[in-house]
A = this chain, B = another copy of it.
Amino acid sequence: MSTGEIASSLAALPHFRSLEPAILERIAATCVLSTYRSRAPIFRQDDPCRGFFVIRAGRVRLFRSMPDGREHVVHSLREGQSFAEAALFNFGSYPVSAEAVANPTEIIEVQGRPFLELFYSERRIAAAMVGSLCVRLLSLVQRVDELSATSAAARLARHLLHMPSRGTPITVELSTSKRELARLLSITPETLSRLLRSWREGGMLRTEGRKLVLLDVAQIATIADGG
Contact = CB atoms under 8 A, between A and B. Distances in A.
A216 to B, nearest CB: 16
Given A70-B226, A123-B123, 14 more contacts: A66-B225, A70-B225, A72-B144, A72-B145, A72-B148, A73-B148, A89-B130, A89-B134, A95-B138, A96-B141, A123-B126, A130-B130, A140-B140, A143-B144
Interface of A: 64, 66-68, 70, 72-74, 85-86, 89-91, 95-96, 119-120, 123, 126-127, 129-131, 133-138, 140-145, 147-150, 186, 221, 225-227
Contacts of A131: 89-90
Given A68-B226, A147-B144, A138 B89 contact: no
Contacts of A134: 85-86, 89-91, 133
Interface centre among A72, A90, A131, A144 (most CB of B within 10 A): A144
